Structure 1
Amino acid sequence: MSLPDRTLNTGVEKKRKWEMPDTYVILFAVLLLAVISTYLVPSGAFERETVDGVERVIPGTYSEVDGSPAGFMDIFLALQEGMIQSAGLIFLVLFAGGAFEVVERSGAIKGGILRAVNKTRGKEFWLISVVSILFAIGGAVGVIANAVIPFVAIGVIIARAMKLDAIVAVSITFGATFAGFNVGFLNPYTVGIAQSIADIPLFSGMLLRIIAFVVIVGITIHYTWSYAKKLLNDPAKSLVGVLDEKQASEDELKAPFTVRHKWILAFVGAALLFFIYATIEFKWTINHMAAFFIVIGIVSGIIAGMNYNKVAMTFLDGCQKLVYGALIIGVARAVLIVMENAKILDTAVNALSIPLEGLSPVFAALGMFVANGVLNFLVPSGSGQAMIAMPILSPLADMVGITRQVAVQAYQFGDGFTNSIFPTSGPLMASLAVAGVPWIKWAKWMLPLLLIWIVIAVIMLSVGVLIGWGPV
């Protein structure tokens, strides 16, 4: 007689390995906390006034008002409403992803990078500089952010060809991308969304951001080159060991860079410049930019020689890759909807303004910078963090006497800098995995550069406060 299979109960169960909660899990937990807070936090509101078409909080006018706590179904209705209210931003992210997928799939980006590599071979400083600048520009305009991960493998090839190590490979790709992302002077996912929420003109204040971009990227290149020089003089100084001394094969460093590729990159560059002009001259909005990315995707596909089905499917593939990041915007918005409906958002703003009241505007701006850096540990999504932070920072900026432009940059620096070192950053950990660099080794190398970045941020935010960096 056969006996049924039974699992012997030894009384010892394997402990499940703890995992860092996903961003969606964290945001849902924050949503639940917001719901609970509607039962504990008093409802209140500020009086507001409209100045130059922008609604502003009037300091000192907070008072308690009647409000109703959130119910069970309100949790899920807020998620639905968050998606609806954030539809313009969500589709901006999706359509941008679709457009850049067409450009990337054409081979223009990879071909351009490897052409720059081949043109500067044997000139290590210029090679590091050119590649870093290309990736930094990609990060600043939103072309490359999370999409940098597969390009890290190219960085490894370049580093091997120069007889350097994997840290240099990560630095000239991921590190350079996020050096540009730190400022994001034309980044629709961060500055674009934050300025839209803050109700200030899209991509306004660009001159000061470009100056900060040049300084941050320049220092990042210098820092990387200083480390690379040490390795060229003494490979034993590498934190992770230099890559195999044999040169990378010629095939690895070859990729076609055709006339089509040149036309694609020229068109995309011209299109982005035109958008800057259109936002100033024609007052284009987030919706215009989302629509314009469809045009960029279609025209880039045509130049690349793709047929109509190929363009459509490639564009949709790019949208699909960014669904995760796009829907975060709606979930983050749900948190604010719960607080707004219960009328406790102004209560939170009032509570945050109290400890800042005794500070000068400069220190208040720095406090916003630090707060956003801490928030990024929990919400490592630039667009998601903008949706949570900016509705609070905008009225808070009005309260403490700084411009909303400064508040936007405080958010951007807080989000951007910590992406380069926090282990909760998915792109960082994936990039390190591709290059085979332990996080501890990277953190040891990155920390001095991060501190330099912070000093630059402090200077820029202080200047922004002192000059009344506008438009509002």
Structure 2
Amino acid sequence: MADAEAKKGAFRKGGKKKGGANSYLILAWFLVGTAILSWICAATGQPGVSAASVAQILNSPVNGFTSALPVCLFVIVLGGFLEVVGKTGALNAGIASLVKKLRGKELVLIPILMVLLGICGSTYGMCEETVPFYLLLGAALYAAGFDTMTSALTVLLGAGCGCIGSTVNPFSVGVAEAALADMGYDVNKGLVLLLGFIVFAIAEGSAIVFVVRYARRVKADRSNSAMSEAELTAMDEEFGGEKGVASKAGNLTPRQRWVLVAFAISFAVMIVSFVPWSSFGVSLFDAGQKTEEVVTKVKDDDLVSAYADKGLGTLRLDGNVSGTVTTSSVVTPAWSALLTGASLGNWYFNECTTWFLLMAFVIAAIGGLSADEAVKTFLKGAAGILDIALVIALARAISVLMHETGLDTWILNSAAAGLSKVSAPVFSVGSSIVYLLLSFAIPSSSGMATVSMPIMGPLAIKLGFPVEVMIMTYVVSHGIILLFTPTFGVLLAGLAFSKVEYSTFLKTVMRYIVGLAIALIAFLTVMMVVL
């Protein structure tokens, strides 16, 4: 306990006096700014842009919640799951044991964790799935003598720089290549892979150096923490004292050991479940699945009804129309689809929510909690994390409003027109700027590729520039924006877990992000010229 109190004092001594701006207010101002921009564009006659109505502005947070509901629900259930694990005392005891074994070598954890997160980001776009790691690494690195800015940077830059250097990521590189292939354009996938590896090495390597240098300063003298006094107080309350590792530093009991095994299995299954194994030719998790083709007759009334149900308007057809729709139906599910109905590799947030809900009560039983205690503990954790889910929903509202007003498409089309007759260096830098701006509106990597690549890819080919570099320009620019944009709700959620204000985070990391952006854009510009 004395060590925990001493740690609090050391951190607070170096803290700045003021906290940062509230995340909700930051997002609200972005939402208002989006509405104002739509009014300006509509008033000046910009094609395809409509002025945001009062109803659209007021409904956007609710529509954002609807759009982000799977992620929000996952975060809420995750809060309950982690509270149950914490109640058993196993996690704190396990972290204390790890820190004791690594005493004097704690810095080694950071590059190892960042490389692992980076590989996940590069291969399958692990980003939103990193939410729980902000809490887990926050507890571990705080116990090791760092602040939670260190843990936040480890997770964000580790996975984020991996996404920037995507190699076989099916949700960014894969979607972009498929969009061009559907239009009849050939893409040299080997060249895309090589460029991805080089970008990954630059981004991940520089991020590790940046985070380790910061962590070393904080470890040597905790007054070097970039966090404010208010943030450090919140950090101490969350990770120190009675709730912290120091108070649970005893030996692990047999029950706690089994809880940690179940805890590790929970996250291992989550990671495995998100990897699209079929994209890599792996069918292990689909074994046993049998499907059959189902042919359904379609008449004109069916088409009219489908149009109306989708809210696309009234469809009028001249004459009788008929046809067939062929779909694939699962007759026998795969062995790994037993619990959620979807095989591993085909899970998304709904399936992961089900999994963590189940494991919360499995761990409660292993940890010796009564049924009543397990339910109350779970609800306490879920309630405590609701504010973070609301941040994610409000962040999504900005993207919803930009889409409804047509701002996202207008930005893309206007930029493409402006880049139609320029040199390779100008085109490369201009394309990067376009993607940097557009990524504020479209945080989804697959959504961005689907919307933009059919426009920017053919434009690059028409001008005689390598489309492979165009793909990496999109990947890099989009990934850089996700490192700091408040419209990416997972970023603000992770900072909230870490008790770090958004403004403090920006002051700490922005110089690095700008430097990384300049270096990568320069590299891609050279590739655009020489390839």
TM range (shorter): 0.5 to 0.7
* 1:158 partnered with 2:144: yes
Residue type of the partner of 1:267?
S
Distance 1:25 1:115 in 2: 45
Distance 1:411 1:150 in 2: 27
1:138 shift after superposition:
9.3
Match of 1:313 in 2: 379
Distance 2:393 2:171 in 1: 12
How many percent identity over aligned positions? 14
Residue type of the partner of 1:303?
V
Distance 1:285 1:36 in 2: 47
Match of 1:263 in 2: 262
Match of 1:454 in 2: 517
Residue 99 to residue 425, structure 1, CA distance change in 2 (3 Å): closer
1:249-272: per-residue Cα shift (whole Å, max 9, x none)? 983583756222222222322332
Residue 371 to residue 146, structure 1, CA distance change in 2 (3 Å): farther
Distance 1:200 1:287 in 2: 19
Match of 1:296 in 2: 355
* 1:31 partnered with 2:35: yes
Residue 151 to residue 227, structure 1, CA distance change in 2 (3 Å): closer
* 1:352 partnered with 2:415: yes
Distance 1:279 1:311 in 2: 38
1:26 shift after superposition:
1.9
* 1:142 partnered with 2:145: no
Residue type of the partner of 2:38?
A
Does the residue aligned with 1:357 lie in a helix, a strand or coil? coil
1:221 to 208, 228, 234: 208
1:206-244: per-residue Cα shift (whole Å, max 9, x none)? 997688556544443344545666899x96996889x9x
Match of 2:56 in 1: 75
Match of 1:104 in 2: 82
More divergent stretch after superposition (115-124 vs 386-395): 386-395
* 1:179 partnered with 2:161: no
Distance 2:132 2:432 in 1: 22
Residue 453 to residue 30, structure 1, CA distance change in 2 (3 Å): same
Does the residue aligned with 2:103 lie in a helix, a strand or coil? coil
* 1:397 partnered with 2:438: no
Q: Contact 1:361 / 1:465 at 8 angstroms: preserved in 2?
A: yes
Match of 1:40 in 2: 44
Residue 133 to residue 82, structure 1, CA distance change in 2 (3 Å): same
Distance 1:126 1:354 in 2: 49
Q: Normalization by structure 2: what TM-score?
A: 0.54
1:383 shift after superposition:
7.2
1:18 shift after superposition:
10
Residue type of the partner of 2:35?
L
Residue type of the partner of 2:98?
A
1:289 shift after superposition:
0.8
- Structure 2: stretches of 5+ with no match in the other structure: 1-19, 180-188, 233-240, 287-341, 366-370, 461-466
Mapping of 1:412-423 within 5 angstroms? 412-416=479-483
Residue 90 to residue 362, structure 1, CA distance change in 2 (3 Å): farther
Q: Contact 2:266 / 2:356 at 8 angstroms: preserved in 1?
A: no
1:411 shift after superposition:
1.1
Distance 1:90 1:250 in 2: 33
Distance 2:113 2:272 in 1: 22
1:454 shift after superposition:
3.1
Distance 1:373 1:146 in 2: 27
Q: Contact 1:362 / 1:465 at 8 angstroms: preserved in 2?
A: yes
| Number of matched pairs | 390
Q: Contact 1:90 / 1:329 at 8 angstroms: preserved in 2?
A: yes
Q: Normalization by structure 1: what TM-score?
A: 0.59
Q: Contact 2:95 / 2:140 at 8 angstroms: preserved in 1?
A: no
1:416 shift after superposition:
1.0
Does the residue aligned with 1:414 lie in a helix, a strand or coil? helix
- Structure 1: stretches of 5+ with no match in the other structure: 1-16, 45-66, 160-167
Distance 1:278 1:311 in 2: 35
Residue type of the partner of 1:265?
A
1:299 shift after superposition:
3.1
Distance 1:313 1:373 in 2: 40
Match of 1:116 in 2: 98
Distance 1:127 1:229 in 2: 12
* 1:251 partnered with 2:232: no
Q: Contact 2:138 / 2:148 at 8 angstroms: preserved in 1?
A: yes
Residue 198 to residue 224, structure 1, CA distance change in 2 (3 Å): closer
1:135 shift after superposition:
7.5
1:105-163: per-residue Cα shift (whole Å, max 9, x none)? 3147656654432221122542444565677789944344597379657544423xxxx
Distance 2:21 2:111 in 1: 40
Distance 1:33 1:101 in 2: 37
Does the residue aligned with 2:128 lie in a helix, a strand or coil? coil
Does the residue aligned with 2:419 lie in a helix, a strand or coil? helix
Residue 235 to residue 337, structure 1, CA distance change in 2 (3 Å): closer
Residue type of the partner of 1:295?
T
Q: Contact 1:275 / 1:289 at 8 angstroms: preserved in 2?
A: yes
